[in-house]
Chain A
């Protein structure tokens, strides 16, 4: 057997890319159902997030004597971005077991289900943009014009990383059912280790430790430019390196295990 049968992976990626109408429709429909099931739909999450981030900002700026204006955008954007990243990671191991019935009845590739889910998560994340805009309007940090390019670019990078990570972790999570609870319980300490609530400079001399955490880069590429933090080239380079590693892992896992997935479900 071919060590790395890249064609299998690329053919499947191309197939689902051309089939975008189907999964994009399904993702939009999943969102629509969220609206239908609850009045205000996903906005409840946005409201809940706004309230808790607001309270946290009030408390912390009082306790630690921060400048609340500066902290408000930082905390809000951090919270929202973290929610998105954390959902992408925690849902990944269960993606194929949760779609078992469909996978065993149709010949869509595993990528199809991942794109459906990741698109839904992206659409849910976009619901939080108004909240960020309101905060930016209140605080008016110095945002440069390049944000109009870097923010969508960052979103795109996070999205493709979510897709490839979900695929790799999805295979692992289907084969080994203890991966899902493990990943879920690891995400809580990761939240504390990632600069979401605190700022990197608060670590003083230990600041470099944050660069060991992959989430730092993805929070960074999305947050820095909307909170008026100085442009940090390292964060982008780091994110690109992780993306490359992520794609290589995907190719290795997918080309070898795609045909076995169905036996694990």
Chain B
């Protein structure tokens, strides 16, 4: 079956917890109060929330390479995390078909005292790939990262550039049906940056669906054929990339005028 992403009327609300309702004792006291004064005290009922995503309807099919455009806080990352299965919708339907790999955050699960080699297996295990699979990918990761002898040294001896190389090389060694990328920032030196850009474009091309949130416009323009423009947790426009980009630009100019 071909991969697809279908979202219907999806909403995500982020509850806000202040110091008071983080405490079990306090919330117990509050509930008992609320029960007693249920008619007069309405504030204790209902959670205070911030809208993450509002009424999202989306239908993405095979071959779509979708750019996510919008200002900070528009809900781009939340949408990607929803599709990645990290967040769950408060209401609405989500159906996703195909293996999903998300490159939203890199270098999670790293252990300072483990060697680079071991960290590759750790990171894979954390993503649900058993050690056997990690071993199969190992040669490619080793070659790509060019860390050489450092692969057998503990992570605490690594510079931040070397960590980024390790994280990137491990994360990019994947061939999913659906690939989600959130503003990957090329770190490392210039030669590695050029190489990693070429590599990630290759991975993106292999995926049957791509969702790409980035402010690096030339890269997005080069890779995407569709576009979503988001603002305040809502999808304002979903259609061809050129139209989405035009609306995005207009929106930026409008904001500048204000």
Contacts and interface: CB of A to CB of B under 8 A. Distances in A.
A176 interface: yes
Contact of B128 (A108, A178, A258, A260): A108
A230 interface: no
Given A105-B108, A107-B85, A178 B25 contact: yes
29 contacts: A21-B131, A22-B125, A22-B126, A22-B131, A26-B125, A26-B126, A29-B118, A33-B113, A33-B114, A37-B113, A102-B126, A104-B105, A105-B108, A106-B86, A106-B109, A106-B126, A107-B84, A107-B86, A107-B128, A108-B127, A108-B128, A175-B22, A176-B27, A177-B22, A177-B23, A178-B25, A259-B88, A262-B86, A262-B88
B117 to A, nearest CB: 12
A164 to B, nearest CB: 20
A105 B113 contact: no
Interface in A91-120: 101-108
Given A21-B130, A106-B109, A178-B22, 6 more contacts: A21-B131, A22-B130, A29-B111, A108-B126, A179-B24, A182-B24
Interface in B150-201: none
Contact of A176 (B23, B87, B121, B126): B23
B72 interface: no
Interface in B65-90: 81, 84-88
Contacts of A262: 86-88
Contacts of B23: 176-178
Interface of A: 19, 21-23, 25-26, 29, 33, 36-37, 101-108, 172, 175-179, 182, 258-260, 262-264
**What are the 8 closest A-B residue pairs judged by CB atoms, nearest first?**
A21-B130, A176-B24, A107-B85, A259-B88, A22-B125, A105-B105, A105-B108, A178-B23
B122 A176 contact: no
A179 B85 CA distance: 28
B56 interface: no
B239 interface: no
Residue from the set A104, A105, A262, A264 with the largest chain B CB neighbour count within 10 Å: A105
A258 B122 CA distance: 25
A96 B41 CA distance: 33
A240 to B, nearest CB: 29
Interface in B95-134: 100, 102, 104-105, 108-109, 111, 113-114, 118, 121-122, 125-132
B15 interface: yes
Chain B interface size range: 20 to 34
Residue from the set A108, A262, A263, A264 with the largest chain B CB neighbour count within 10 Å: A263
Given A22-B128, A22-B129, A106 B113 contact: no
A150 to B, nearest CB: 33
Interface of B: 14-15, 17, 22-25, 27, 81, 84-88, 100, 102, 104-105, 108-109, 111, 113-114, 118, 121-122, 125-132
A82 B254 CA distance: 66
A29 B126 CA distance: 12
B67 to A, nearest CB: 22
A222 B15 CA distance: 43
A261 to B, nearest CB: 9
Nearest to B52: A263
A176 B109 contact: no
Nearest to A19: B128
B113 A36 contact: yes
A179 B24 CA distance: 7
A223 B92 CA distance: 52
Nearest to A21: B130
A104 B86 contact: yes
Contacts of A101: 108-109
Nearest to A176: B24
A262 B130 CA distance: 24
Contacts of B84: 107
A258 to B, nearest CB: 8
Contacts of B132: 21
Contacts of B15: 260, 263
Contacts of B81: 104
Contacts of A108: 126-128
B51 to A, nearest CB: 13
Given A102-B109, A263-B14, A29 B122 contact: yes
B30 to A, nearest CB: 12
A23 B25 CA distance: 34
Contacts of B108: 101-102, 105-106
A128 to B, nearest CB: 24
A33 B114 CA distance: 7
Residue from the set B14, B15, B102, B128 with the largest chain A CB neighbour count within 10 Å: B128
Contacts of A172: 24
Given A37-B113, A104-B86, A262-B86, A26 B122 contact: yes
